[in-house]
Amino acid sequence: MEELEGILELNKSEGIYIDIGTKVYLEIEGVNFSVTSIFIGMLKDEFMIVTLPKRYKSVKNKLFPTNKMVVKYLYDGSVYAFQTSVIETITNPIKALALEYPKVVQQRELRITKRNNVVIPGRVEAKNTEFVMVVNDISKKGCRFKYHDNKINLASLREGDLLRIYCKFPGIPDEIGAMACVRNVRREQGQLSIGAEFQDVTKTFLTPLTHFLFSIEDFF
């Protein structure tokens, strides 16, 4: 876990910008994966309370007082992050985690067109058929996916073709679909690589996509 360099000092009169019920991502010192919790409340300038994280049993030995972590969350279209330390793990009468109130918060806009190298399984419906593919680059504006162009009765996709893309985002039980338009096509090592622009994106698709992009946002 790397330390944050503060670029936005907290306004002590206003406090931190976060709503009760917000999902937060915890990057705990000594743990090589992030876990999620829900923000419960705080006493300004004193402490914050979040639920015990998912996969609690896997990280409980690292939730000892003074151990450091970075907390990230999404608020009003921006990503916020701050460094804090564990005060106490509470198991009775409620199960929660008390954290030190942050002194400095880092803020960054969630960039709409930032390219993100990913591996997201999915499928495409186009030209009255469907086929499996893998998304390897995605943003709020569109994505790039690859597939083997060996399907019977399926001509290669061309610029301007409309299609429907279904993605299986981590943590989402069902596939989420969006309309898209092919913007460029190239062949790479026996596969077709398709750049597509999302069209008329619904909230059903945009919300999980936004949270996925937020979860992989790099502050360092």
- Prediction pTM value: 0.57
Rg (CA), the chain: 21
d(CA 132, CA 129): 11
pLDDT at 75: 82
SS3 77: coil
pLDDT at 7: 41
Neighbours of 77 (CB within 10 A): 9
Numbered ranges of CATH 2.40.10.220 in the chain:
116-215
Numbered ranges of CATH 2.30.110.10 in the chain:
8-109
pLDDT at 104: 85
Q: Which parts of the chain register pLDDT below 70? A: 1-15, 77, 109-116, 150-155, 217-220
- Encode pLDDT of 173-212 as tens digits: 889 999 999 999 888 777 888 999 999 889 899 888 888 8
The C-alpha angle with vertex 81 and arms to 71 and 173, in degrees rounded to 5, equals 60
Q: Is the peptide bond before 170 cis (omega within 30 degrees of 0)?
A: no
pLDDT at 217: 66
- How much of the chain exceeds pLDDT 70, in percent? 84
Neighbours of 55 (CB within 10 A): 13
Topology of the domain comprising 8-109: Pnp Oxidase; Chain A (2.30.110)
SS3 180: strand
CATH 2.40.10.220 fits 116-215, yes or no: yes
